[in-house]
Amino acid sequence: MKKILVVFGTRPEAIKMAPLVKELKKESSFIVKVCVTAQHREMLDQVLSFFKIKPDFDLNLMQPNQNLNQLSGRIFTEIDIVLENFKPDIVLVHGDTTTSSIVAMASFYREIKVGHVEAGLRTYNRQAPFPEEINRQITGRIADFHFAPTEASAKNLLAEKVSEKAIFVTGNTVIDALLWGIKNVNENNVDIEKLQQVINSTKKLIVVTGHRRESFGEKFKSFCEALKELSQREDVQIIYPVHLNPNVQKTVHQILKNNTNVHLIDPLNYEAFIWLLNKSYLIITDSGGIQEEAPSLKKPVLVTRNVTERQEAVESGVVKLVGTSKEVIVSQAVKLLENKEVYSKMISKENPYGNGTASSKIVEILKSF
């Protein structure tokens, strides 16, 4: 029997790896164990609870104010103990986090094969997203199996001289997670009950997220000023689950507090968040995962970044890059709020990231090897 170790550390990774873990554990030919670095802690635990996944190894590495070098060193040390004791045949990592790149490297040093889920996304800009772009490229140089979500991401890998035999186009597991999650949402969830009391059904709900490092400073202020201007409209309500990073909290509350049309709330658990997305009229975000999820919910997305590694969504018209300019964000949002034709066109496209079968495809590929 083949031994598979699935490793992740952040909330987005947990969401995207959860349906794959569930599919892998259905297979009697695999011994599957889950390791979390807990690069995020509380936010990660919420996802694990919702998907009913109990880690076999919990490295519990989150510490206040640790920098990327400190985190990387601790991941290297702790994951090596797990690799030595479990001796997996393959390690599966996800995407672009510090956990993914360091675990991939540690596995390579022990000559263990690495599978990279959500492989091949690129901006080719080292600073955007930072440090994720380089994390993803490092993992891509190491991986033996590249599970690319789209043909475009597969082409990126081919251009980098990755063997065609090692690349598999599967769709994105985030869609698997979303579709499972929407079916299993419990509306008695405490966070959902609170949201139900806040949402004004007579207004168009704009759901906002924003947390990327490369936007901190003047760019982030401009983004918040755009939200402030949009909130002056009588037909709009904004709900913003505010990231816990102090750089985010300070600016958001300085500009948007005491605004009756803007509800600044704590980060939501995954179950409540996808429920909220499903209730939205429009989403403004710098999140990668939401760019992938929202088209399946038929919600238009304005992405407050200048570049994205998810270019397929831009090209298909289901998301629009608007950067952090106040004027551009406001003008593009107003178009969607006032022009039904523009809105309908944006939500009528198919999701380029798949239909919820990515996890089963990955399992079949692993079985064949």
- Could you count the other beta carbons within 10 Å of the beta carbon of residue 251? 20
User: Can you tell me the distance from the alpha carbon of 186 to that of 234, in angstroms, rounded to the nearest whole number?
Assistant: 31
Report residue 74 CA to chain centroid gap: 23
Task: Report whether 47 contacts 11 (CB < 8 A).
Answer: yes
- Could you count the other beta carbons within 10 Å of the beta carbon of residue 368? 6
Average pLDDT over the chain, rounded to whole? Answer: 94
Q: Is the pLDDT of residue 216 over 80?
A: no
Q: Please tell me the predicted confidence (pLDDT) of residue 296.
A: 94
Two tokens, residue 369: 């090897």
* Complete domains list, the chain, with CATH: 2-172+355-368 (3.40.50.2000), 188-347 (3.40.50.2000)
Two tokens, residue 21: 């873990």
What's the whole-number mean pLDDT along residues 119-124? Answer: 95
What's the whole-number mean pLDDT along residues 10-32? Answer: 96
User: Can you tell me the distance from the alpha carbon of 7 to that of 25, in angstroms, rounded to the nearest whole number?
Assistant: 15
Residue type, 139: T
Which residues neighbour 121 within 8 Å (Cβ) at sequence distance 6 or greater? 95, 96, 136, 149, 153, 156, 309, 310
User: Can you tell me the distance from the alpha carbon of 299 to that of 294, in angstroms, rounded to the nearest whole number?
Assistant: 5
Q: Quick check: helix, strand or coil at residue 344?
A: helix
Catalytic residues: 96, 118, 132, 211, 213, 243
Q: Is the pLDDT of residue 214 over 90?
A: no
- The pTM for the full model equals 0.88
Phi, psi (rounded to 5 degrees) for 65: 60, 20
Q: Is the pLDDT of residue 157 over 90?
A: yes
What's the whole-number mean pLDDT along residues 88-107? Answer: 97
What's the whole-number mean pLDDT along residues 109-114? Answer: 98
**What pLDDT digit, counting tens, does each position of 342-369 carry?**
999 999 988 999 999 999 999 999 999 8
Rounded to a whole number, what is the distance in angstroms from the first to the last CA of the chain? Answer: 12
Phi, psi (rounded to 5 degrees) for 206: -105, 120
**What pLDDT digit, counting tens, does each position of 297-322 carry?**
999 999 999 888 888 889 999 999 99
**What pLDDT digit, counting tens, does each position of 236-285 carry?**
999 999 987 888 899 999 999 989 999 999 989 999 999 999 999 999 99
For the chain, what percent of residues have pLDDT higher than 70? Answer: 99
Q: Which of 333, 323, 318 is nearest to 238 (CA)?
A: 333
